A and B are shown apart, each in its own frame.
Chain A
Amino acid sequence: MAVTGAALVLFLIGHMLGNLKIFLGADSFNHYADWLRTVGSPALPNRTLLTITEIVLVVCVVLHMWAAVSLARRAAKARPVKYAAKRKSQANGYATHTMRYGGVIIVLFVIWHLLDMTFGTVNPKGGDATPYDRMIAGFQPDRWWVALFYLVAMAMVGLHLRHGLWSAFQSLGLTRRPRVRSTLQTTAVAVSAVLVLGFVSAPVCILIGVVK
């Protein structure tokens, strides 16, 4: 869970930074998208970096989900008789309670996101348009519900990371001392917040017409 999650977080950081290129204009954004396909060329065939990334991501997502499902199944087996009174949560961690359904929302979002931005199947401009045009068209005000879905999914990503990042530090045994623990707690909150703000900034600016 921790190791695959860490790989996915590293990808998210790269993806978020790439998205911010939208603020530097169409040329910069399209050039960056092109560079991702041709990096290392001609020494390496086109799409080398992308293909490696895609394989690692798919493996990580599958292992991450497998780990989550096995934990849930173990939990069900460990408590065959449920409590009659509703178990009241005593630990104040809202994010912790969103992990399972939040993860499902994120997966559904990723599927939509790939159809929209990568394959262009559900994008108004289609798959042949430049990445910049696809992104601008995807978040126009008449498609406000797409932007809304995006914002909800990003909120879920934020909550997922808020618990997930800290939880990964704990699972890897890094939070053994109170001072380190509070530093890593703060790190988890800060990284989640920065990632969500970075991801949300582009669609919001397109929606309100700041980026055209």
Chain B
Amino acid sequence: MNLTLKIWRQNGSSDKGRMVTYRVEDVSPDMSFLEMLDVLNERLILEGDDPVAFDHDCREGICGMCGMVINGVAHGEQKLTTTCQLHMRHFKDGDVITIEPWRAAAFPVVKDLVVDRSAFDRIIQAGGFISVPAGSAPEAHSVPVPKADADAAFDAATCIGCGACVAACPNGSASLFTAAKITHLSLLPQGQPERESRARAMVEQMDAEGFGGCTNTGECTAVCPKGIPFDTIAQMNADYLKAASK
């Protein structure tokens, strides 16, 4: 199939940036979205043009590197799918596809579709860890974890930190990411000693990075490729309120 792509091109953080239109021909429905961009880039390189820069790594939907806003939806309209796992069979011949980077003040554009997500790393550094003595792995049964808690913690832990939640949020809030990280640790026994200081530190870092506030629109969880539940934001709010009231 033949497609028209409108892609955001921006040569570095100081460039103003613009939408550029490209034609891509003979796209196979079996290609992934990134493979389709690879085809475009190979042609651009042969023609002596600058290829479109985009982040990617595993191309298996588990690393969290890829991500772009496709026709106004983070990672495209396919639910529970990263951009690398989105296949061209979901598009039709003749489609016009708009491709943009995540838009957030806290995610400055590095080049074209690549944004700097270090803000997420700093939120993790603020409290997304547990302090344990290093050494050999402890006996697995020494700290029992109720099944329901383990399941909920694992659900939250599947967050790959791609940033789609921020891109989709009308407020540009990073609440779902931060909440997933807080919930994952605060539901497990190992996370208890630092539970309140963690919630406070991570929420304060999130605000300091310039993300917007949460108004519970639910756009984040709807586009999340890992389906991080909205309940995690309630867990973050509960932990934060408890910490703030002391």
Contacts and interface: CB of A to CB of B under 8 A. Distances in A.
Interface residues of B, number: 45
User: Chain A: interface residue count, which band?
Assistant: 35 or more
Given A88-B72, A96-B217, A173 B212 contact: no
A89 interface: yes
Contacts, number: 119
A130 to B, nearest CB: 43
Interface string A51-84: 0000000000000000000110011011111111
Contact of B210 (A70, A78, A172): A78
A84 B218 contact: no
B71 to A, nearest CB: 5
A74 B173 CA distance: 9
Contacts of A83: 69, 72, 100, 103
Nearest to B218: A91
A163 B216 CA distance: 9
A176 B229 CA distance: 10
Q: Chain A interface mostly helix, strand, loop or mixed?
A: loop
B84 interface: no
A38 interface: no
B8 A171 contact: no
Contact of B73 (A90, A93, A96, A175): A90
B162 interface: no
B98 A78 contact: no
A70 to B, nearest CB: 8
B59 interface: no
A133 B241 CA distance: 48
B6 interface: yes
B237 interface: yes
B218 A173 contact: no
Contacts of B103: 79, 81-83
